[in-house]
Amino acid sequence: MMKMPSSSYAMLLGAALMMLVTSLNARDLPEFTRLVEAHGPAVVNISTTQTRQSARSRHQFELPDLPRGGPWDDLLEHFFGERGGEAPPQEHEARSLGSGFIIDASGYILTNNHVVEEANEIVVRLSDRRELVAELIGTDKQSDIALLKIDATDLPYVKLGSSEDLKVGEWVMAIGSPFGFDHSVSVGVVSALGRSLPRENYVPFIQTDVAINPGNSGGPLFNLDGEVVGVNSQIYSRTGGFMGLSFAIPIDVVKDVVAQLKEHGKVSRGWLGVLIQDVTRDLAESFGLERPMGALVAQVMDDSPAGKAGIQPGDVILEFNGREVATSSALPPLVGRARVGHDAEVRVLRDGKTRNFKVRIAELPADEESEAPARTHTEPDTDRLGLVVKELSDSERKALGVEQGGVRVERIAEGPAAAAGLNRGDVITRLNNRPINSLRDYRRQVERLSAGSSVPVLVIRGASPRFFALRIPQE
């Protein structure tokens, strides 16, 4: 018998091991076909029509200067308006497509608010090709959730799970109608949890790498147990298409919204009554924190739950109802879901010590914005912070929206204040966690600042409060 060289044995053994590993890896990957077969029929296609007005530009070129009364007048007016001018606004019918899913046998359907917003008619197409006009039960713009209802029988529906149990790296699956293609399936993993997006204060989004495209909005995000853990809502894209960043509304947030829409037709959210900002590394040092964490209270609203409970500007909120507040963006969703009229436990850091407050949560009011006029003057000498400040008169204080005290930055030179980011026109209301009620208070606090220390300063800028960290140089 002919012997095989040892090198050939090694090659064959390596190939066999590779095939075995590949086979094992393939068996370890999740299998989605059963999930799609079981839960895909509950996913629906949603189409809407809206009536919109638009001004139509008649032409993109200049017409020759033709005399009136010629045979071409009627033709020009038909195609270009009055002698090629701007046409009057015209109504036109706009259509949009999205996804949704049935959540119970009675015909309730979940989708995104932006899918059905301002719709004249909402048509739901089921997996068995039935098309039904849906009733809009209610919407919540802040969470981008809409609840619909159809009148039908023998409806498949999904099971709602819990987003609280999700973990980063977990497999998830989306079913929807991207670009109008019904029941398209895409899979991926949870990339991050509790994402805060611009202008989205009350939703801690689930970030995934599941391929989501226009038309997927409102569709379900499933876990491997076949439970809906999120509602696909947004993508991050520079092209309008999928680029690996998709965001879903956590189903725990959705369930609370649905319960309120069913009962009241609208959603009420909790309100604490504070303006907050992130704690930077320098601010953490100035407040005595070991690391940046919590939500820094920059302003407490008049007659607010926080104010009544004793929370003050300069407090760093560390916990809300037993939940850690790692960043400022984590606080609004927690407060928003708190029950209106009930007490909440708030743990804060003040003057290097933790304190607990019991706050009676109120309902979130409508937002109000104000503008403050800017006034500037100059003085010759700057203080050790590099500032020239001026005490506010009563009329100036009222115009700037400052309740009491405060000094305004009239001139800023090179020094700690400029390095921290202060600007001329800023109104300083607190320095080193002490209120500034007068020019005398300000000067006293400046003289007491320790060389080499880092201290917080609260300023009002454009009617908005904000903390900065001043690093006092060695003298």
Catalytic residue set = 114, 144, 217
Q: What span, in angstroms and rounded, lies between the C-alpha atoms of 335 and 305?
A: 11
Residues 6+ apart with CB under 8 A from 436: 405, 406, 407, 428, 429, 430, 442, 445
DSSP state of 83: G
First to last CA, the chain: 92
Joined tokens for residue 402: 């400052």
In degrees, to the nearest 5, what angle opens at C-alpha 423 toward C-alphas 419 and 424? 135
How does DSSP assign 162-186, residue by residue?
A: -GGG--TT-EEEEEE-GGG-TTEEE
Residues 6+ apart with CB under 8 A from 409: 387, 388, 389, 417, 422, 423, 424, 425, 426, 427, 428, 459
DSSP H or E segment with residue 231: strand 227-235
| CB of 320 closer than 8 Å to CB of 344 | yes
User: Kind of pairing, strands 227-235 and 159-160?
Assistant: parallel
CA-CA-CA-CA torsion sign (33, 34, 38, 39): negative
Q: What span, in angstroms and rounded, lies between the C-alpha atoms of 473 and 458?
A: 19
Q: What span, in angstroms and rounded, lies between the C-alpha atoms of 264 and 134?
A: 19
Taking Cα atoms as reference points, which of 114, 104, 129, 1 lies closest to residue 48?
114
Q: What span, in angstroms and rounded, lies between the C-alpha atoms of 60 and 84?
A: 10
Q: What span, in angstroms and rounded, lies between the C-alpha atoms of 153 and 409?
A: 69
Q: What span, in angstroms and rounded, lies between the C-alpha atoms of 131 and 12?
A: 59
Taking Cα atoms as reference points, which of 120, 128, 116 lies closest to residue 42?
128
Region for residue 15 given its phi and psi (left: phi exceeds 0; alpha: psi -120 to 50; beta: otherwise): alpha
Cα 5 to Cα 18, 98, 387: the distances in Å are 20, 63, 85
User: Kind of pairing, strands 131-133 and 407-412?
Assistant: unpaired
